[in-house]
Amino acid sequence: MLTYAEMLALHDAALTDAGRLVERAADGDLHRATPCDDWDLTALLSHMIGQNNGFASAVGDGPADVTAYAEPEVTAENVVGEWDASAAALRKAFAQADEEATVHLAEFDSQVSPALALGMQLLDTVVHAWDVAASLGTTYRPAEASVGFVLDSARQIAARPGGTPGVFAAPLGETGGDPWSDALRLLGRTVPPA
């Protein structure tokens, strides 16, 4: 099990990786398809930025309503700035969080620890970084410690009765091969063969 400090470091690296992919995306067609049903690259990036802002507000400022997660309108001209600002706010919120505090996540109407909120964002960041990379026709693999964390989390998510409608697509079975591919499959991603 990862410590809070270890998750912070992994999440920081994931935000940096995702930022590089956002920069690449800004140089191309933001209307490309993504692995996320009904989302083109613009919608995916807007979602990612909205999640960063919402979690930063909930963790850093106390209870935040669903408007904190609002998905901004992004364009090739503003997406890098929007991403950088949201990532900086999220890093600061988690770095300064009281680990014993409770975080209210309005989207789920639930109270969680900062560690659980950080784990949720670590998973979301690396999986959506893969989604962006796939949309750009490239690949992305996070640090192996992140892979292990996401695979464990994905197994728990996939085992829930009814899954997580509206959050992840229906899980696909593990192949028992590459752990990162299996994690992505459990979160509903179709991973092309290597």
- Fold adopted by 4-186: Four Helix Bundle (Hemerythrin (Met), subunit A) (1.20.120)
Do residues 83 and 129 lie in contact, with contact meaning Cβ atoms separated by under 8 Å? no
Q: Is 102 helix (H, G, I), strand (E, B) or coil?
A: coil
* Other C-beta atoms lying within 10 Å of the C-beta of residue 76: 13
Pairing of strands 103-105, 110-112: antiparallel
- Residue among 80, 11, 10, 12 at smallest CA distance from 45: 80
CA pair distance 38, 46, nearest whole angstrom: 13
Residue ranges of domains in the chain: 4-186
Give me the tens of pLDDT residue by residue for the chain, a chain 194 residues long. 899 999 999 999 999 999 999 999 999 999 999 998 889 999 999 999 999 999 999 999 888 889 999 999 999 999 999 999 999 999 999 999 999 999 999 888 889 999 999 999 999 999 999 999 999 999 999 999 999 999 999 999 888 766 555 567 777 877 888 999 999 999 988 876 54
